[in-house]
Structure 1
């Protein structure tokens, strides 16, 4: 059981050192757009600019999401580029993956942009409650 708690605590420390949810949402948004590009022709609204940009922009969104997760020092550049790519999928990839991928990419990029590395980690709900009662 201690190995499991060691893994959990190590993962929590790793997650706290980076804009985790921003990178995850951005990666999921790009993956969702790529999956909607594989939809049947009855579902697809339009293929996009010769089809290449329809696959290139969401693939770059996935790459930028992974870069935000594994190289958080450059998160500002990655998140600004990801916002522009997410907006570009509106035109090139079935209205941004039928709005779902577009919204996931935008929210993930904004979360990554707003993340502060030197901010004190939030206390868990049970810890906050016991602190309030003691004060």
Structure 2
């Protein structure tokens, strides 16, 4: 049994179990990148088709590029969801999300009034920055050795318990008159 594995009692509430499973699922993929990318596509696709009613007055924000806005918004939502289920396309999805966010500025009401633009840009950047974690494998030599380090490591590195190196036997911790100075010369004062 892994000593770092969470211990769960048999009588855990189902919400706790669902929360732990979701947290494990979320940690193995670029979750926040996909969420921000998908959320950025919503205002980009919505605002060109929305209208605001104030009493008898209707304010329409429709533009001539409504179809372009819809395509950009749906592509961003699709890229966001694809990042959750296909981690291998994270670099492509990140670059595509950033490019679509930049194209949405002139096409779709300033990128969904900058809201969709900023979310998509952040999601694309997070997708490019995310890297999958690698499980740490335990070294069989370290597991059997109670001291922690082998004799070969002791010869190669001599340091204090915090890992800070100190001078070896062949090094002098102080300057002498034969020590070369930073300017390449020797100390002429004697």
Smaller-chain TM-score bracket: 0.7 to 0.9
Unaligned residue ranges in structure 1 (runs of 5+): 121-135
Residue 67 (structure 1) aligned with residue 82 (structure 2): yes
Does residue 14 of structure 1 match 2:63? Answer: no
Distance of 1:87 and 1:15 partners within structure 2: 28
Query: What is the DSSP-based 3-state SS (H/G/I as helix, E as strand, rest coil) of the residue aligned with 1:10?
Result: helix
| Higher relative contact order (CA closer than 8 Å, sequence separation 6+) | 1
TM-score by length of 1: 0.79
Distance in 2 (alpha carbons) for counterparts of 1:103 and 1:43: 23
Larger Rg: 2
Q: CA deviation at 1:81?
A: 0.8
Name the structure with the higher helix share: 1
Q: Contact 2:45–2:71 (CA<8 Å) still a contact in 1?
A: no
Q: CA RMSD in A?
A: 1.8
TM score, norm. by length of structure 2: 0.58
Count of matched residue pairs: 118
Moved over 3 A (4+): none
Higher strand share: 2
Alpha-carbon distance in structure 1 between the residues aligned to 2:87 and 2:64: 32
The within-5 A match list for 1:19-98 is 19-40=30-51, 42=59, 44=61, 47-49=63-65, 51-98=66-113
